[in-house]
Each structure stands twice: as structure tokens, then as C-alpha cells.
Amino acid sequence: MKISRNRILVTVLAGIVLVLFFATVTGLFYYREMINKLGEVQEEVFTEYPRLYAYIAEDPESKLSNRLYEEISDYAINNGCYVEMTGQNLSTSYSKADRINIAISSKVDGIILEGDDSEETAELIEKAARNGIPVVTVLTDCVGSSRKSFIGLNNYSLGTEYGDELASIGEAKRKYPLSALILLDRDDGNADDIIHSAIKESVTGRNVRLSSAVVDSSTPFTSEESVMNILDDLDNIPDVIICLNDRTTESVYQCIVDKNLVGKTVILGYYDSETILRAIDRGSVYATFAVESNTIAAQCVNALNEYNDTGFVSEYFSSNYIKINRDNLSDYEPEGGSDEG
């Protein structure tokens, strides 16, 4: 029996209609199920804070700045406010001045700022004050500005400590005069000048010959390149190299290893990253000085809260450094956990 073409065509079309019908019904059931599930999802709970503060670092990539920010953020949350690091995790890099302007435009309730002695920063602090935003500086001050308080470190005391360590190294090596090179940070003139002066004063009469050089520590690459150039230009490697920030310390350590100078010079460092602590354990770094970051964090938040509550706050809060060497290394626990990525 022959089946006509029309009957075959009708049968195929009927089959297609049935498939589309079942697909539509199935899709409707699936859609309805998804709507029901979405309806069951609870709304995300957000915590509202009465005050929002901005933290602006000199170098957002600095290990010290990031640890300090973590400490500040944790302390703030536990004390009824919230702190965010302005300009962090953005696709575009913003200058320090840009980040201050962003914080002012965002109408934050206060700014925690790693200061400097530039006229531009002082003018931006004044702009924040005109907009009713108090600024406290941390680690480095902005002298003569409208900042409300400075949360700093006793840099004169640190310089004296470096001087005492130089004297100890001289006695251990029994080499006089002991030569020491101080590596200053290009962007941290005020604090480094105080430390430098205190070191010079401390070693007076101790048969120590001091020299200094300026390092561009703006990035890890420029820091290591700058240190390598300084060491290459020296006629003689100094007995001691003093580093005044974390990036310079790690750069010097790496260069000393690369140039096979371990044992020919010793490093007095700054900060307590895992790299620096390992170098102390191996004897490549004689000692380092760490920052009491949890104390500084509390002082920053408390200073802004006090000013916002009363309109007054102390102009200066001080914190100390912690000396770490092989004698106390095994008992030392870094604040804020590991900095290594």
C-alpha cells in the first residue's frame, strides 16, 4: 500500500508540534520551579556602620601598609565603624593625590593617611578639612598641615637602637673603624632624616664610619635595581648595611645573596616579613625592627572616633619598635599573620 506524500508531511508536522508542546510544558514547569526556589532565598544581610573611614597608603603594595590596613580594618569593625583602603583592587593605578580626592568626593567620615612633607598633600588635607573630613596621619607626618593628629613611631629612639646595634657589631667583629652604609628612602625624607641624625649622634665616639645613599623603593623592581647600582658603585662593601624600610631590606638581602657577599657584610633591617625572619635565622640579617601594628591601628581609629565624638583629639600618639634578632626569633610571633603571598 502506498502512503501519499501529504500524509507523511502531516505526520511529520504533527510530530514536530507534539515535541514543541512537550518542550514548552517542560520549560514552564522548570521556570515555575526556579521562581519558587528564588522566592525561598533569604535576603543577604548587610551590616550598616555609622562611620566610614578611608585609609590611604603611600604605597598600596607595601607589605607594612597592607598589614596595617588589615589591623585597622579589624579594629574598626569591632568598634562600630568601617575602614576601606582607597584605590585598592582597581584596574587603574591612582596617585596618592587622586586617592585623597576620591576619599573627599566619597564624603567619608575621616581619613587615615600615610603622610609626607609635600605641599600638595598639605593642600589636600586642608581641602578635606574644609569639607568637614578630619585627617589623621600615620607612620609619616605632614608637618604644618591641618591634620588633626599624628600617629607615629619613635624614630629618634629607632635611630638610637640602630646605633647601639652598630656598636655591638663592632665589638663582635673587633674591627675599627666599622663602616656602615645607611640606605635612605627617597620618598620618606622627614622620618629617615630623624633616624639618620639619631644614628649619627648615637655612634659619636664609637669609631664608626657612616655613609648614606638614597634608594628608589617605589616598586620592588626599582628598589632592587637601585640597591644593586649603589653596591656596584662602592669601592668597598661596608661592614654593615642599614635599611630603613621593608622593601629595601628584602632588596639588600637578595642582592647580597646574588653577589655572594653573605658573611662579608651584615644587614640591620626593618620590618618582619617571612623573608626577613628567615634571613635572621640564617645569619644574613643581624637584626630587624618591627612595627607594633596593632597598637598603631587602634590609635588611628580611636583618634578619628574621638575627634568625631568631641571635636578634640591629642595631636600626637606614639608607638615603639620591636627588635628581633636570633636571640628572640624563636619566641617572636609576627602581628597580623604572614605577609607572604
* Contact present, 245 and 271 (Cβ < 8 Å): yes
Number of domains in the chain: 2
Same-domain check for residues 172 and 138:
no
Same-domain check for residues 285 and 178:
yes
Cell (9 digits) for 262? 653573605
Pairing of strands 135-138, 110-113: parallel
Distances (CA, A) of 166 to 28, 171, 240, 324: 80, 9, 8, 15
* Contact present, 308 and 108 (Cβ < 8 Å): no
Task: Residue 301: give the domain boundaries.
Answer: 52-153+293-320
Q: What is the pTM of this model?
A: 0.77
CA angle 158/159/162 to nearest 5° reads 90
C-alpha span between 299 and 76 (Å, rounded): 11
Same-domain check for residues 283 and 168:
yes
Tell me whether residue 1 is in a domain: no
Same-domain check for residues 130 and 190:
no
Same-domain check for residues 303 and 238:
no
Strand order through the sheet with 208-215:
208-215, 178-185, 240-243, 266-270, 285-291, 321-325
Same-domain check for residues 164 and 280:
yes
Q: Tens digits of per-residue pLDDT, 285-341?
A: 999 999 889 999 999 999 999 999 999 999 999 988 999 999 999 888 776 555 554
Q: Which residue has the cell 605641599?
A: 119
How would residue 52 be classed by pLDDT, with cut points 50, 70 and 90? Answer: very high
Is the predicted pLDDT of residue 251 greater than 70, yes or no? yes
Q: Tens digits of per-residue pLDDT, 191-209?
A: 788 899 999 999 988 888 9
Same-domain check for residues 79 and 93:
yes
Pairing of strands 285-291, 321-325: antiparallel
Q: How far apart are the first and last CA of the chain?
A: 80
Give the list of residues 6+ apart from residue 130 with CB closer than 8 angstroms, or none: none
Tell me whether residue 101 is in a domain: yes
Tell me whether residue 45 is in a domain: no
Same-domain check for residues 64 and 104:
yes
Task: State the CATH number of the domain containing residue 198.
Answer: 3.40.50.2300
Is the predicted pLDDT of residue 120 greater than 50, yes or no? yes
